Amino acid sequence: MLPFRVLPIVFVLVLAACGGSSDLGPPSGWEGEGTERWWVPGIDTTEAFRDLETLESMGVPVFNEVDLAPSVQNLMIEFYRSNPEIVASVFEEYGLPIIERGDPSVSDRTELRDQLRRDAYLSMVDYYRDARPDPNVQVEKIYPDSLRERGVTGQVEMQVRVNEEGLPIAIKKLSGTDPTLDALAMQAITKMRWVHAGHSGEAVASWTRMTITY
């Protein structure tokens, strides 16, 4: 089974009339800035909303001196995004030696890179596993009749901070489609649950990215 697979998210589609704007803010127990950022009061928002766009912005070491290592690391960027410091440490100890043993004389370097990515990932998941959506939790995805009938569609991509118990505690919208759908997508995320991330058997907080399509 390939790493970094996209797991299915169980949403129950509900077609509903569009409510007023008062229904489109953060739910009870959350605070927010429009449909850009929502968070649970009391958390470290600087940490929760950190920049996870690139390896460089995460502040993790990129091993430019090792053949194919940077390209393999970029192929694993979603894994890094789940917890940059832990993944960087695990990669350096268990993944990098596999890259260093790679044979740079192989003619098909794309195939070699993909194989090294798989081998490195498999060597790392014994020590760190990222958070995955809990398959036992179903979440309603509200799609207002007024928008559906007008053909308003699109995707809402979000960065989600998940605590040690698998609960979402911060949501940052990365891209959206319509203000109402953006808010409804973020509301759905607040109700989701995750099988928490783990490092050497210990539950840890992490990030994940979620996309809801309308």
Composition of the chain by helix, strand, coil, percent to 5: 35, 25, 40
Q: What is the pLDDT of residues 126-178, one digit of tens each?
A: 999 999 999 999 998 899 999 999 999 999 999 999 999 999 999 999 999 99
Rounded Cα–Cα distance for residues 135 and 130 (Å): 15
pTM beyond 0.75, yes or no: yes
Q: What is the pLDDT of residue 103?
A: 63
Q: What is the pLDDT of residues 64-122, one digit of tens each?
A: 999 899 999 999 999 999 999 999 999 999 999 999 988 666 567 788 899 999 999 99
Q: What is the pLDDT of residue 140?
A: 85
- pLDDT over threshold 50, residue 32: yes
Q: How buried is residue 115: exposed, middle or buried, by Cβ count under 10 Å (0-12/13-18/19+)? A: middle
Q: What is the pLDDT of residue 107?
A: 62
pLDDT band at 10 (very low <50, low <70, confident <90, very high): low
Rounded Cα–Cα distance for residues 201 and 206 (Å): 14
Rounded Cα–Cα distance for residues 65 and 141 (Å): 47
Residues 6+ apart with CB under 8 A from 142: 14, 16, 184, 187, 188
Q: How buried is residue 174: exposed, middle or buried, by Cβ count under 10 Å (0-12/13-18/19+)? A: middle
Q: What is the pLDDT of residue 17?
A: 46
Q: What is the pLDDT of residues 166-209, one digit of tens each?
A: 999 999 999 999 999 999 999 999 999 999 999 998 999 999 99
Report which secondary-structure segment, H or E, holds 55: helix 55-58
Q: What is the pLDDT of residue 104?
A: 60
Q: What is the pLDDT of residues 15-27, one digit of tens each?
A: 454 444 446 899 9
User: Domain segments of the chain: what residues?
Assistant: 11-49+133-213, 68-129
Residue closest to 9 by CA, chosen among 120, 122, 133: 133
Give the tokens for residue 93.
């100890």
From residue 10, alpha-carbon distances to 2, 42, 133, 141 in Å are 21, 29, 9, 10
